[in-house]
Amino acid sequence: MTRTSIGAKLGAFGVVVLLAAACTDTGTPTATPAGTPTGSESPSSAPPATETINIGIGGPFTGTSALTGTEMKNAAQMAFDAINWQVGMYTINPVYVDDQSDPAKGTAALEQAIVGQNLVAGLLNWNSSVSVAEMELTAKYKIPWFFGMGAAGTVNQKFTGDMEKYGYWTSKGWPDPVKLTTAYVGAINDAIAAGTYTPASKVVAIYGEDTDWGRSFGAGLRHDFEASGWTIKSEDYFPLTQTDFSALMAKYASDNVPIIAGTSTAAASITAFIKAYGESGLKSLVVADGLGWFGDWFDMTGTSSDYVLDSVPGFATDKAKQFAADYKAKYGSDPSAAAAGLTYDWTNFFIKLMQQTLADQGAITSETLYKEAQDKLWTGELTYTDGIIMSVYDFSPESIPDPVVGKGHYIFPVTQYKGGERTVIWPADQASGTLEPKP
């Protein structure tokens, strides 16, 4: 995402919590799912494994964002299952680092994994505040970490402020939210210009979880709205665990704001916010960034989510739809594109990076993986084009630690919900409908 809580953006399979004797799980090989990385060795063609390496897989597997963490873990397992958890002569042994959406718990779990399980590298996570905290440990132990979903600008500031130290947090799987909030403001302003939406005033109320992610996203909204002539009436940030929003809805009704825009990465919180909005009778246009990060978002909100705007990827291609079907058949629930879909792609990119490291440097170690990141990931030479969500996953010297954002790279369309269905309303070249005000 984060995002501090995104979400995920990382059931029956069991939740693994790292304790003093952290447990590991290699998973059971399954049939190759959709989107197997190009160039991967099939189980039948791979040489016999002679060495085992421990790879950390981070995410909120318990806690406020456990639904997102569950999707992330499942999707990562599907990607590794497709290569039988093997790269060259190496067997990949996963160490699941449960950060519980909490920086203190996350750093404790990660340090135990690094020291107790001898991690070679790691990938994924969800919350921005966890990312900021865990960057200290990847720097301390020189363990490269890839594609963390913690998105807030605080991660970028730390990374660019001292790349020699914090470069071990090599890359983000979700860009700074400031790069993404422009989509909402663009969609609303374009609808006004086209005459399909006419607000009573150009006044906005901003809300969000009181985390690095929530405040970074709110700052982006404030900047983009103010830059295009809107006035910010209020900014309200609340605990990640909050589920009672009746007082906040009464405030919005009193202020008579036409736009309510914000985010939360906790399923219980964001769905409670939307349900309170629906029950309040407000006609304001709501931006709820992250609502669609949860596969069962409509079950949790019902028609209260009608006319809400969100910026989320979808399972648009045949390959992506096949992944979603495979996921549901395996785990019994619908995946979200933002958590499960992106995790699947980033895990496959990490697999490709390991394969390329082995080909270039003859071994997979912390040192060789970090060198490969510096030489080929950061420079844009190593990319991933076989994903199910984005056309291309790539980085550049100008973008790192973020992926390259823009058309043909990493981009989310703006969608509007109605009856549990999504309609893309922006940008115009992807739109299948227009923005509709709440009647």
Average pLDDT of span 64-91: 97
Can you give the pLDDT at residue 16?
34
Let me know if residue 208 belongs to a domain: yes
Say if residues 240 and 269 touch (Cβ distance below 8 Å): yes
- pLDDT at residue 137, as a whole number: 98
User: pLDDT digits over 287-345, tens only?
Assistant: 999 898 887 899 999 999 999 999 988 898 899 999 999 999 999 999 999 999 999 99
Q: Does residue 60 have a pLDDT over 60?
A: yes
pLDDT-derived band at 38 (thresholds 50, 70, 90) equals: very low
Full domain range(s) for residue 202: 179-312+412-426
Helix 66-81 and helix 318-331, axial crossing angle in degrees, nearest 10: 110
pLDDT per position as a tens digit, 86-108 = 999 999 999 999 999 999 999 99
Is residue 124 a part of any domain in this protein?
no
* CATH code assigned at 239: 3.40.50.2300
Domain assignment present for residue 207? The answer is yes
Q: CA nearest 314: which of 413, 408, 185?
A: 413
In angstroms, the CA 205 to CA 196 distance is: 21
Q: Which of 330, 261, 336 is nearest to 297 (CA)?
A: 336
Q: How far is CA 214 from the centre of its chain?
A: 14
* Arithmetic mean of pLDDT, 57-74: 96
Q: State the sign of the Cα–Cα–Cα–Cα dihedral 8, 9, 13, 17.
A: negative
User: Which pLDDT does position 176 carry in this prediction?
Assistant: 92
Q: What distance in Å separates the CA atoms of residue 268 and residue 6, rounded to the nearest whole number?
A: 13
Asked if residue 211 is part of any domain, the answer here is: yes
Cis link prior to 427 (omega < 30° from 0)? yes
Question: 332 lies in a domain?
Answer: no
Q: How confident is the model at residue 430 (pLDDT cuts 50, 70, 90)?
A: confident
pLDDT tens-digit series, residues 378-393: 999 999 999 999 999 9
In a domain, 190, yes or no: yes
Examine residue 9 and state whether it is found in any structural domain, yes or no: no
- Residue at 268 is within a domain: yes
What integer best gives the mean pLDDT of the chain? 90
Distance CA 10, CA 407 (A): 26
Q: pTM of the entire structure?
A: 0.77
The residues with which 94 forms a beta bridge, in sequence order, are 55
Tell me the pLDDT band of 427, cut-offs 50, 70 and 90.
confident
Q: How many domains does the chain divide into?
A: 1
**pLDDT digits 0-9 by tens, 123-149:** 999 999 999 999 999 999 999 999 999
Q: What is the dihedral of CA 387, 392, 395, 398, to 10 degrees?
A: -150
Q: In this predicted structure, what is the pLDDT of residue 375? A: 98
